[in-house]
Copies of this chain bind each other. A is one copy, B any other.
Amino acid sequence: MIIVNGQQKSEISVKDRGLLYGDGIFETIKVKGAMPKLWHMHLDRLVHSCNALKIAVPNLKHLQNDVDQVIKETGPNLVLKIIVTRGIGNRGYIYTGNEQPTVIVMSSPEYVTNERDYLNGVKAIFCETRLSHNTNLAGLKHLNRLEQVIARAEWQDPQIREGVLLDNDELVIEGTMSNLFIEKDGVLYTPKLDKSGVSGVVRRKVIETQEAAKAPVCIKNITKNELLCADSIAISNSLMGVIPLSQIGDKVFSISPLIKEIVSRNLHDCN
C-alpha cells in the first residue's frame, strides 16, 4: 500500500524535486507486530534531515495517521518506507521555501534475517567505490544515493551480504546499507560521520545504550588497517538490528562476547 500526501495512490508528479534533484530524505522502518520499531528515533532523524535541507517538516500527526493506515491495511509485519521531498517547484535548482513537501508512506514485504546470521555472522567485502566528503549532507538519509547504487553493484554473490565503504581519505565509514561497529581490546568503536555516511538509528540506539551502561562507544576516524586489526565487527541497520561480520574479504573475524551481547540486545529492541 502506498499513500502520497494523505491519498492512496502510487505515483508522483515528474516535476517533484525528489525526482528532479533527489531533493528529499527518507526513512526505512521495520514494523513488527504492527509496531514501527524505534519509531521516535526515526521521526527524530526525519525532522533533523528535513531541517538540515530546509525542507518543510511534514505534519507529524498526519504522518502518523498514514503510517497507521498502511500497517492496518498491509498486516503487522512489513518494511515501511517514508519519503519526504521538497515537493514541486519552478524550473531550476532554486527553491522559494514555500514549496509543499511531498510525503510518501509505502510498505514492502517483511525483511527476515536468518537466525543463523545473528549467531555466525555474515560475510562482507571491501568496495572499490569511495564515499565523497560533503559536510552539508553527512549523516543525513537523503535521496542522493548514487554512491550506494554504484557500490552495491560491485558484487553479485548472495553470500556476500555487505560492502564496506571507505571515503576519499581511505577512512572506513560504513556499509552500503548499514553502519559499522568494531571491538578492539574490549572497547567498541564506530566511525565518525562528519564528512560522509548515514547516521543510522540503530547506531544511535547502540551508542545511547552503551553510554547509559557506562561503556561508551568511541566515535573516531577508523582506518582500513584498524578495521582489519579489530577483534570483532558488527553492522547495523533498521531492518536487521545488529549482525556480526564473520569475514571481510579474506580476513576472518571472531564474534566476541560484547558483540554477541549487543546483537542479542538489539534482537530484543529492534525485532
- How many chain copies? 2
The reply to whether B146 and A54 contact each other, CB–CB distance below 8 Å, is: no
New A-B contacts (16) at CB < 8 Å, excluding given A12-B12, A15-B106, A168-B168: A2-B14, A11-B13, A16-B19, A17-B149, A19-B143, A20-B26, A20-B143, A21-B143, A21-B145, A22-B146, A23-B146, A23-B149, A54-B153, A93-B148, A136-B150, A137-B150
Q: In the complex, what residues of B have CB within 8 A of residue A151's CB?
A: 93
A interface with B by C-beta (< 8 Å) = 2, 4, 10-23, 26, 53-54, 79, 83, 85-86, 91-95, 104, 106, 108, 111, 129-130, 132-137, 142-153, 168, 176-177
Q: How far is the CA of A132 from the CA of B136 in the complex (A)?
A: 10
Q: How far is the CA of A136 from the CA of B134 in the complex (A)?
A: 16
Query: A106 — nearest CB in chain B belongs to which residue?
Result: B14
- The minimal Cβ–Cβ distance linking A174 to chain B, given in whole angstroms, is 13
What are 11 A-B pairs with beta-carbon distances under 8 A?
A11-B14, A12-B12, A12-B19, A14-B106, A19-B85, A21-B146, A22-B22, A91-B111, A93-B145, A95-B149, A137-B146
The reply to whether B12 and A152 contact each other, CB–CB distance below 8 Å, is: no
Q: In the complex, what residues of B have CB within 8 A of residue A54's CB?
A: 153
Q: In the complex, what residues of B have CB within 8 A of residue A149's CB?
A: 17, 21, 23, 53, 86, 93, 95
Q: How far is the CA of A54 from the CA of B146 in the complex (A)?
A: 12
- The minimal Cβ–Cβ distance linking A232 to chain B, given in whole angstroms, is 26
Q: In the complex, what residues of B have CB within 8 A of residue A79's CB?
A: 91
The reply to whether B92 and A177 contact each other, CB–CB distance below 8 Å, is: yes
Q: How far is the CA of A177 from the CA of B151 in the complex (A)?
A: 27
**Also in contact, A152 and B14, with CB within 8 A (given A22-B143, A133-B168, A146-B53):** no
Please pick, from B13, B93, B132, B136, the residue contacting A152 in the complex, using a CB distance under 8 A: B93
The reply to whether A93 and B176 contact each other, CB–CB distance below 8 Å, is: yes
Please pick, from B12, B133, B146, B168, the residue contacting A144 in the complex, using a CB distance under 8 A: B146
The reply to whether B148 and A21 contact each other, CB–CB distance below 8 Å, is: yes
Query: A97 — nearest CB in chain B belongs to which residue?
Result: B153
Q: How far is the CA of A137 from the CA of B108 in the complex (A)?
A: 30
Q: In the complex, what residues of B have CB within 8 A of residue A132's CB?
A: 132-134, 168
Q: How far is the CA of A242 from the CA of B238 in the complex (A)?
A: 49
The reply to whether A94 and B2 contact each other, CB–CB distance below 8 Å, is: no
- The minimal Cβ–Cβ distance linking A55 to chain B, given in whole angstroms, is 10
Q: In the complex, what residues of B have CB within 8 A of residue A17's CB?
A: 149
The reply to whether B104 and A14 contact each other, CB–CB distance below 8 Å, is: yes
